[in-house]
Every structure is written in C-alpha cells, then in structure tokens.
Chains A and B, each alone.
Chain A
Amino acid sequence: MQPNAKLEDYSGVWVVVERSESEIDPVVLELLGKAWDLAKKRNTSVTAVILGKHADQESKKLGIHGADNILGVHCPDVQDYEQEFYTRVLTELVHERKPEIILIGATPQGRDYAPRLSKRLNTGLTADCTGLDIEETTGNLLQECPTYGGNIMAIIQTVSSRPQMATVARGVFKPKIRTKASKVKVEKITYCFDATRERASTVDIIEQDGETRDVRDAEILVAGGRGMESSENFGLLEELAREIGGKVAGTRSACDLGWIEKNCQVGQTGHVVKPRLYIACGISGAIQHTIGMQDSEHIIAINKDPEARIFSIADTCIVADVLEFIPAFINAIKRFRNS
C-alpha cells in the first residue's frame, strides 16, 4: 500500500486474466463468478485485467462471466507472460487505480508473480484460498485456506493494507453466467516496458508426451484402484466414463500396475481434483489418495469391504463387487437414457 493512501481510497475487485494456449484459462472465469459476489457485497464493480493483446469476443466472454470492466494493457515488446512485466505493470496500475481486492489463479504463472507483486505493493497475499467472503462488520475479505493437508482450516485477513490479494486454484469456484449482462466497458492502454532489471527469459517450450488427458478438468471422474483386478477390467471404467461423460483416473497402485497412465493418478503425488462427481471403484481410501479427491462435490464409493476407509468420506456407499456392479450400472444408465 502506498505510504500516504488510506484504506477507504481503495475500491473495486480485480481479476487478472491468464491464458492457457490461446484460450482464457478456466480459473479466470471461476474467479470472475466469485468476484461478482464480492463486488455485490461491497457495492462495487469487477474489472478483468488483461496483459497483452485481446480480442473482442474475449471481452464478451469475460462480461458474461461477471466482469463489468475490462482493462487491456498492450505492450509492443512483450508477447507472452513475463514475471517482471506483470509485476511492474500491475504495480503501477494498482497505485494509480487502487483496487480493494485482487484475485489471481494459483497456476504456475500466478504463483510466479503474485508473491512478488504483493511484496512490491507492500500488502498481504493469501495463498490457495478455498473460500472467499466479505466480513459484514468490517468489509474485510475473509480468506479461507486449508492447511496441514486439509486437517485445519484457517481464516486469513489483510486488515491494515490494501489491496487484499488472494490466489485460488482451478476448480475451487464454479463459473457463473450473467443472464442480463450490461455492456462491458473496455479500456485499452499501451505500456512501454523497458527491461532495466535483469529478467528471467524463456529459452524454449518443450511439449511432453502422453499428457493429452487431463483429469483435473473433468466434471465427472471414474477412478479405479487395485480392486479392479486387471488392465482389461479398467476397460469397464472407460465404458462407464463414456456413458456418463467423464474421464478415467486411478490410484497410485493402479498406475504402478500399468492399468492407467501415470498422469491420471489422483492423490498426494498425483493430481488434486475436485469434480462434481467422483466414482471410486475398488479403492481402499488411503489418505494419500483421498487428499487428492475428498473435496469432490459428490463421492460414490464401490468396495466389497464394508470397513473400507473410502466409505468414511463418501456420500453414497455401495458395498458390492465392482466387477459385478459396474456392468449392471452401465445397463441401468442406458435404460434411463432410453426411457
């Protein structure tokens, strides 16, 4: 916060836009939905800040998802993400326009510049929030984050400085659609960036093989464990996933056995996922696995052992042999579809 500024000088909620490939990253739309809620409670507006060129249809998309204003900063010398560029431009914009709240995706990119930005602005940054709200009495941002592997939740506030900054991982919030979107105000400015500081520069981008399926983005996941018994039986899960529009994931044991690719592993050493529906088939529910999926909206567990730990975190429990149950379930869904 600037030395002579007051807390009341700051208003408005900003979301910093990030692209993956050439698309707007899903986390941005999720953040806009939340920003919209917060702005309503604070009686203010939502601004999406885009660094780099943007197209008109992007403005429309951001507007539908909750942005009232778009601030596009174009810099002829910078094509892609760059740490110092983001930090410097955002610092200057914040000093000039004084937003109250800034939300940033907890992506590799966000994690790279957000801490530096908070330091340069001399304000607090809360990492990996799972909940954001406004405290009625003070108007402060209440930032909820899990810690110690989800065993403890903390509420963190930035009380004495502005803006209040938070990062949020993909999938934590749900995007919202505005039915009656008023016209989005678009402002474009050009920024000349001269790199006086030593910069870190990208030398090369390397494509990795076999990363085509990303379980993190799926709304429905059908996950299999050692209880599936064989690689062939994993085919049943594929079929089920096709039927209900989901993707297949697995435990570490299933990945180690080669029944499914390593990058579909869910858990402590795999991906953390939060789909709407998680169907755990023949999975015991070891903590290293459940850390990665316990926040799913609805968890169905199928296990033949009624004592299996997975049942303690499931919403719907089915004590059955998966190999018998899954084919019956696929048939039932097909019947429903046709009726």
Chain B
Amino acid sequence: MKIITCIKQVPANSTIKIDQVTGHLVREATPAILNPLDKHSIELALEIKESREDVEVIAITMGPDQARLALLEALSMGADKAILLSDIKFAGSDTLATSYTLSIAIKKLMNDDDNYLITCGAQASDGETGHVGPQVAEELGIPSITGASRASLDGDVLLVTRGKQAGKLEQIKTRLPALVTVTKGVNKPRLPTLHGITHAFDEGALLSVWNAATIDADEEKIGMAGSKTKVSKMYTPEPKKENITLTGSPKEIASKLASMLKEKNYI
C-alpha cells in the first residue's frame, strides 16, 4: 500500500512583509521551513510503514521550486519518494485550488489503486485554514478524519482518537482509502538520520517534479483562476489603543479600579 503525506513549506517566522501594490505576501524575504505539524504527519506515515511489510511512503507538496527543501527533509526522515508540484500556473491558489491540484496528482500516482492512506497536518502555520486535508478527501471521494491526537492502522481499518468538545474524546474509525489530519499530540517526530540524509542526497532518483501538464490539470481549477476566495486587502493591525495607568497606594488604586469596573458594567 501507499501512504501519501501532503506537506507544505511555510515561512519560518512572523516577520512577513506585505507587497503594498499587489497585497500579496512577500515570502522570499523570510526563511522557509517545513510546516511543524507536517513532521508529525510524516512520522505517522513512517511509523505505520515500520509496523508492516508492504508500505511505500510518498511525500508530496505543491509550491515554488524552493519547496524542494521540505521534500528533502521528508526524505531524510525516511520517506521513500517525493513529488514536487511546481508550475507558475499554480501560483495564487486558495484551498479549493490547492486541494484540486494535490488530489489529481494523487490520482495519477495511485492509478486506480485504492489501497492508500493520506496523512496531512491539521493546519499549516501560515494560512491556518485546515481546509486542505478534508478538501483533498472530498475531491477524491474518500472519508476524512480531522484533528487526530492518536492514530493507528489495523489491516485496512484506520482508528483515530480526537478531541470532540471540552472534556471529551472521540474514537472514530473508517476503512481505507481514507485521509487523516494530525495534531501535535499524535507522536514525536524523529530527527533526520545520517542514513536518511544520504538517501535524500539521491534526489535525482527519488524526487520527481510535476507541472500542470504532467497531471493533466484543468486550467480553470488551478491557481488564481481556480480560486474562489480572493485576498482583497492585507494590513497590519493598529497597535493597541492608548492605555491608562492607575497610580496611588494599593488601596487608592483598588478603589479607583473598582469604581471604573462598576462604571463600565464589568461588575
């Protein structure tokens, strides 16, 4: 069977700049890393691989050429193969377009074989929508289980534990093919090993680059054209309004504060 793990490259920190003209984020200026939760999703794939004979782990990402680095990280953790979906036509994708692109690539990869599991992060640290996993599953017509805090595969049954409402956990299961999105609690990601790094260096053999034509993408459904949501404006929020400092002895401040709270109807 195949385990396909969808990974995303994200900016490392929050010093993101906004291009004032286009309103788009300027990403090149900030270092890029593998989305932290995606390490957990790779780890889940690798743990399952180690527990049985027949598993091949394939990491896949849609992004610019530099997203290759995220795939190398997955390979050096132990993934068997990697696919980079890269094409200028994919630029500006919202989650509908992203999930369309990923899922037709997965269809091509699976070639009508139904024996697969997809692992994703519950959300990416930049866009943070958490849409991509469930939407890939929807496009492929398979069930999705979101927000796993524990996950295991027994035969072709995927068993997941996840938070439901405050104080409750839910155990939920489904049969493959299926998609699961993971949270931090699901496992502790391994570090790349020396062997893994050597393996990743065999990039030419392990990493394929596919473009819109390779996956036979419908141009109406990818990139900007395929996106239904548009970011119409981006701005840095105003710094917090002016504040006041209460002075005096603790007792004086205490009664000033109490009367202020009363006045504002907080107490």
B94 interface residue per 8 A CB criterion: yes
Chain B residues contacting A332 (CB-CB under 8 Å) are 251, 254-255, 257-258
B96 touches A118 (CB 8 A): yes
A206 touches B139 (CB 8 A): no
Q: Return the CB mask of B116-131 against A: 1 if under 8 Å, else 0.
A: 0000000000111111
A119 touches B246 (CB 8 A): no
B29 interface residue per 8 A CB criterion: no
A198-B174, A200-B144, A200-B173 known; A155+B233 contact, CB < 8 A: yes
Complex CA–CA separation, A212 to B168 (angstroms) = 11
State which of A20, A149, A317 has its C-beta within 8 Å of the C-beta of B246. A317
Complex CA–CA separation, A108 to B145 (angstroms) = 11
A154-B233, A154-B234 known; A108+B162 contact, CB < 8 A: yes
B235 touches A202 (CB 8 A): no
A146 touches B237 (CB 8 A): yes
Complex CA–CA separation, A338 to B7 (angstroms) = 61
Complex CA–CA separation, A220 to B265 (angstroms) = 12
B165 touches A20 (CB 8 A): yes
Q: Which of B145, B162, B235, B258 has the most CB of A within 10 A?
A: B258
A152 touches B235 (CB 8 A): yes
Chain A positions 130-167 with a Cβ under 8 Å from a chain B Cβ: 142, 146-161
A203 touches B171 (CB 8 A): yes
B257 touches A300 (CB 8 A): yes
A115-B131, A325-B253 known; A318+B16 contact, CB < 8 A: no
Q: Which of A20, A214, A312, A318 has the most CB of B within 10 A?
A: A318
Complex CA–CA separation, A153 to B239 (angstroms) = 12
A187 interface residue per 8 A CB criterion: no
B147 interface residue per 8 A CB criterion: yes
Complex CA–CA separation, A113 to B159 (angstroms) = 19
Chain A residues contacting B172 (CB-CB under 8 Å) are 200-203
* Shortest Cβ gap from A282 to chain B (Å): 14
State which of B164, B166, B254 has its C-beta within 8 Å of the C-beta of A329. B254
A111 touches B147 (CB 8 A): yes
A151 touches B16 (CB 8 A): yes
Complex CA–CA separation, A58 to B43 (angstroms) = 45
Chain B positions 20-63 with a Cβ under 8 Å from a chain A Cβ: 25
Chain B positions 214-262 with a Cβ under 8 Å from a chain A Cβ: 227-237, 240-241, 243-247, 250-251, 253-255, 257-262
Q: Which of A87, A147, A202 has the most CB of B within 10 A?
A: A147
Residue on A nearest B173 in the bound complex, by CB: A203
B134 touches A277 (CB 8 A): no
Q: Which of A83, A150, A315 has the most CB of B within 10 A?
A: A83
Q: Which of A71-79, A121-129, A247-255 contacts B (4 or more CB under 8 A)?
A: A121-129
B194 interface residue per 8 A CB criterion: no
B143 touches A84 (CB 8 A): yes
A192 interface residue per 8 A CB criterion: no
State which of B133, B178, B257 has its C-beta within 8 Å of the C-beta of A316. B257
State which of B134, B159, B169, B250 has its C-beta within 8 Å of the C-beta of A112. B134
A205 interface residue per 8 A CB criterion: yes
Q: Return the CB mask of A271-284 against B: 1 if under 8 Å, else 0.
A: 00000110000000
A206-B169, A244-B267 known; A329+B146 contact, CB < 8 A: no
Complex CA–CA separation, A325 to B251 (angstroms) = 7
Chain B residues contacting A319 (CB-CB under 8 Å) are 245, 247
Chain B residues contacting A20 (CB-CB under 8 Å) are 165-166
* Shortest Cβ gap from A265 to chain B (Å): 14
Complex CA–CA separation, A303 to B76 (angstroms) = 47
Size class of the contact patch on chain B = 35 or more
Chain A positions 192-243 with a Cβ under 8 Å from a chain B Cβ: 197-208, 211-212, 214, 216, 220
Chain A residues contacting B267 (CB-CB under 8 Å) are 244-245, 333, 336
* Shortest Cβ gap from A81 to chain B (Å): 9
Chain B residues contacting A276 (CB-CB under 8 Å) are 266
Chain B residues contacting A84 (CB-CB under 8 Å) are 143
* Shortest Cβ gap from A158 to chain B (Å): 5
B95 interface residue per 8 A CB criterion: yes
* Shortest Cβ gap from A50 to chain B (Å): 17
A184 interface residue per 8 A CB criterion: no
B19 interface residue per 8 A CB criterion: no
B245 touches A318 (CB 8 A): yes
B126 touches A147 (CB 8 A): yes
B163 touches A149 (CB 8 A): no
A324 interface residue per 8 A CB criterion: yes
A116 touches B134 (CB 8 A): yes
Chain A residues contacting B228 (CB-CB under 8 Å) are 118, 122-124, 158-161
Chain B residues contacting A142 (CB-CB under 8 Å) are 232
State which of A153, A157, A317 has its C-beta within 8 Å of the C-beta of B230. A157
A314 interface residue per 8 A CB criterion: yes
Residue on B nearest A148 in the bound complex, by CB: B14
**Shortest beta-carbon contacts, A-B, top 3:** A211-B167, A124-B228, A127-B129
Extra 9 A-B pairs, beta carbons < 8 Å, given A151-B236, A216-B166, A317-B244: A108-B165, A153-B235, A156-B232, A157-B230, A206-B168, A316-B257, A321-B250, A333-B258, A336-B262
Contacts A/B (CB < 8 Å), 9 sampled: A115-B132, A116-B135, A154-B234, A156-B232, A206-B161, A206-B171, A208-B169, A312-B240, A317-B243
B→A interface (CB under 8 Å) = 11, 14, 16, 18, 25, 94-96, 99, 126-135, 137-139, 141-147, 159, 161-175, 178, 227-237, 240-241, 243-247, 250-251, 253-255, 257-262, 264, 266-267
